[in-house]
Amino acid sequence: METEQSWIKQYNWATYIDWDFANSNQYREYTKRCAEFLNWNYDQIKGDPALMQKFVDGDWNESEFLIVKQGRKIKENVTDKGIIKAE
């Protein structure tokens, strides 16, 4: 059980992305309660429906999405406008 939950120690923030879906308040409140239970910070941001549509459609351009091809790993990238990269 300890190994299964060890990832929790690596995080301290929960962000709710508001997509204006039905029942949004219910999910927003659930996210807040989870953050409180875990003693994490909480915030919320407005989602971009156009970006979600591109994701669903597979229209993944590299300026908006991090594309990680098979065999590559995600690495920190502090010298570029993004904060992570695949190499």
Residue 53: its pLDDT value, please?
93
φ/ψ of residue 41, rounded to 5: -70, 155
Q: Can you give the pTM of this predicted structure? A: 0.65
Half-sphere exposure of 17 (CA within 13 A, CB side): 6
Torsion of CA 34, 5, 77, 67, to 10 degrees: -80
Helix H segments across the chain? 24-38, 49-57
3-class SS of residue 20:
coil
Strands 84-86 and 13-18: unpaired
Q: What is the mean pLDDT of each successive set of 10 residues along the chain, which is 87 residues long?
A: 73 93 90 96 94 94 88 81 70
Residue 3: its pLDDT value, please?
63
